[in-house]
Amino acid sequence: MALPLNFTREEAEAFAREGCLEEWVHLFLKTTGNNIPFSEGLKLGKRYWEGPVLLPLQDLDRCCGPEPEMEYVNPAESWEARVDSLMSLLQEGWAYPPLIVQAVDGRLSVRDGNHRHEALRRLGEAACWVILWGSESQEALARD
C-alpha cells in the first residue's frame, strides 16, 4: 500500500482484500478521522468487519448532531459549519471516507461520519459507502 493514505472507499476496499480492514479503520481514526477515543474503544474487544458496502442513508441512524435526543449532542453552530464545509467538498467531487457504522440490536448506528451522513442527505444522495462493524459475529453483519 502506497503512503500517504487517502482514506477513500477504494483504499478501504484494497485493505479489505488483504484482510486488513480493521487496520485501515484505526489508521483513519487516528489521523484524518481525528477520533482517537473511538479507535481506542474499538480495541477493547473482538470486532468483526465488513465492507465497504453501499447502504441507503435512511437505514443509518446518526448518534451525534444538534438534536437534543442524540447520544452526542453537538452545538448547532459548529454542526452546521462542518456540514456546510463537507457539502462543498462533496460538490467538488471529494471521495469521502466510508462512514463507520455499528450493527447492533438490528440497528445501524453511525459511529464515525455523522457530519458526512448529514451532508450527503442534504445533497439528496440516497446511499453512502460504509464500513460495518459489530461485536457478535461476522454473520451478524450480513446484509440482505
Asked whether residue 35 is domain-assigned, the answer is yes
Q: Which domain holds residue 75?
A: 9-137
Q: What is the CATH number of the domain that holds 100?
A: 3.90.1530.10
Write out pLDDT tens, residues 57-73. Answer: 999 999 999 999 999 99
All residues at 6 or more sequence positions from 73 whose CB lies less than 8 Å from its CB, including other chains:
64, 65, 66, 67
Asked whether residue 54 is domain-assigned, the answer is yes
Based on the structure, what is the number of domains in the chain? Answer: 1
Write out pLDDT tens, residues 82-133. Answer: 999 999 999 999 999 999 999 988 899 999 999 999 999 999 999 999 999 9
Asked whether residue 85 is domain-assigned, the answer is yes
Spatial contact of 119 and 57, defined as CB atoms under 8 Å apart:
no
Count CB atoms within 10 A of the CB of residue 79. 19
Query: Which is nearest to 129 in space by CA: 87, 90, 97, 91?
Result: 97
- Which pTM was predicted? 0.92
Asked whether residue 107 is domain-assigned, the answer is yes
